[in-house]
Structure 1
Amino acid sequence: MIAAALFDQHRMHPAAEQEYTPYSPPPTAPLPEYLADLVVAALIDEVTLTPKPGLVDMRSRGAHRDLSWALMCHSAWALHSTFHAMAVAGQSMADLQRLREHIGFLGRQGEASMMRATGDINSHRGAIWALGLLVTAAAQDCNALAPAAVAARAGVLARIPDPFSPVLTGNKGQRACHEYRVGGARAQAQAGFPHVIEIALPCLERSRARGDKVNDARLNALLAVIAELDDTCILSRGGTAALASVQAGAQRVLAAGGAASPHGRSVLRQYEEELLVLHVSPGGAADLLAATLFLDQLRTDFVH
Structure 2
Amino acid sequence: MRAHPLRLTTVTPGPPGPAPVREAAIAWIGEVAAQALTDELETWPKPGLVSLVDAGSHDNMDAGTFRRSITALRPFYVELARAGAAGAGMDALRRTGLRAEAAMLAATGGVNTHRGAIFALGLLCAAAGAALVECTAGLTAARLTSMVRDRWGAAILRGPIPLNSHGSAALRRFGAGGARAEAANGFPHAVRVGLPALHAGRSLSGNEEAARVHAFFALLAAMEDTNLLHRGGTEGLGDAREAARDFLLVGGVGLTNWLAHAVAVHHRFVARRLSPGGSADLLAATIFLDRLGSGP
Length-normalised TM-score, structure 2: 0.90
Aligned to 1:175: 169
Aligned to 1:231: 225
Aligned: 1:112 with 2:102: yes
SS in 2 for 1:51: coil
1:100 shift after superposition:
1.4
Query: Aligned pair in 2 of structure 1 residues 88, 226: CA closer, same or farther (>3 Å)?
Result: same
Alpha-carbon distance in 2 for matches of 1:162, 1:62: 31
Aligned to 1:20: 3
Aligned to 1:135: 125
Deviations 1:16-49 (A, max 9, x none): xx31232242322712211111100000110011
1:173 shift after superposition:
1.3
Query: Aligned pair in 2 of structure 1 residues 32, 67: CA closer, same or farther (>3 Å)?
Result: same
Aligned to 1:252: 246
1:165 shift after superposition:
5.8
Query: Aligned pair in 2 of structure 1 residues 176, 92: CA closer, same or farther (>3 Å)?
Result: same
Deviations 1:118-150 (A, max 9, x none): 111000000000000000001101233111110
User: Which AA in structure 2 matches 1:73?
Assistant: R
Q: Is the Cα–Cα contact under 8 Å of residues 216 and 259 in structure 1 kept in the other structure?
A: yes
Bigger relative CO (Cα 8 Å, ≥ 6 apart) = 2
Matches within 5 A, 1:36-55: 36-55=30-49
Alpha-carbon distance in 2 for matches of 1:184, 1:266: 30
Query: Which of 249, 253, 258 is the aligned partner of 1:264?
Result: 258
Q: Which consecutive residues of structure 2, in runs of 5 or more, have no partner in the other structure?
A: 12-22
User: Which AA in structure 2 matches 1:229?
Assistant: M
Alpha-carbon distance in 2 for matches of 1:239, 1:203: 26
Query: Aligned pair in 2 of structure 1 residues 276, 85: CA closer, same or farther (>3 Å)?
Result: same
Aligned to 1:202: 196
User: Which AA in structure 2 matches 1:69?
Assistant: A
SS in 2 for 1:160: helix
Aligned to 1:156: 150
Comparing 46-55 with 117-126, greater Cα deviation is found at 46-55
1:80 shift after superposition:
1.2
Query: Aligned pair in 2 of structure 1 residues 243, 168: CA closer, same or farther (>3 Å)?
Result: same
Query: Which of 46, 69, 73 is the aligned partner of 2:67?
Result: 73
Alpha-carbon distance in 2 for matches of 1:145, 1:265: 33
Aligned: 1:103 with 2:86: no
User: Which AA in structure 2 matches 1:232?
Assistant: T
Query: Aligned pair in 2 of structure 1 residues 137, 256: CA closer, same or farther (>3 Å)?
Result: same
Alpha-carbon distance in 2 for matches of 1:164, 1:234: 24
Length-normalised TM-score, structure 1: 0.88
Aligned to 1:11: none
Alpha-carbon distance in 1 for matches of 2:9, 2:150: 28
SS in 2 for 1:20: coil
Query: Aligned pair in 2 of structure 1 residues 108, 157: CA closer, same or farther (>3 Å)?
Result: farther
Q: Give the number of aligned pairs.
A: 281
Aligned to 1:187: 181
Alpha-carbon distance in 2 for matches of 1:259, 1:211: 6
Query: Aligned pair in 2 of structure 1 residues 291, 168: CA closer, same or farther (>3 Å)?
Result: closer
Aligned to 1:286: 280
Alpha-carbon distance in 2 for matches of 1:152, 1:210: 29
1:164 shift after superposition:
10
Q: Is the Cα–Cα contact under 8 Å of residues 115 and 121 in structure 1 kept in the other structure?
A: yes
Query: Aligned pair in 2 of structure 1 residues 207, 90: CA closer, same or farther (>3 Å)?
Result: same
1:260 shift after superposition:
4.1
Alpha-carbon distance in 2 for matches of 1:146, 1:41: 18
User: Which AA in structure 1 matches 2:37?
Assistant: L
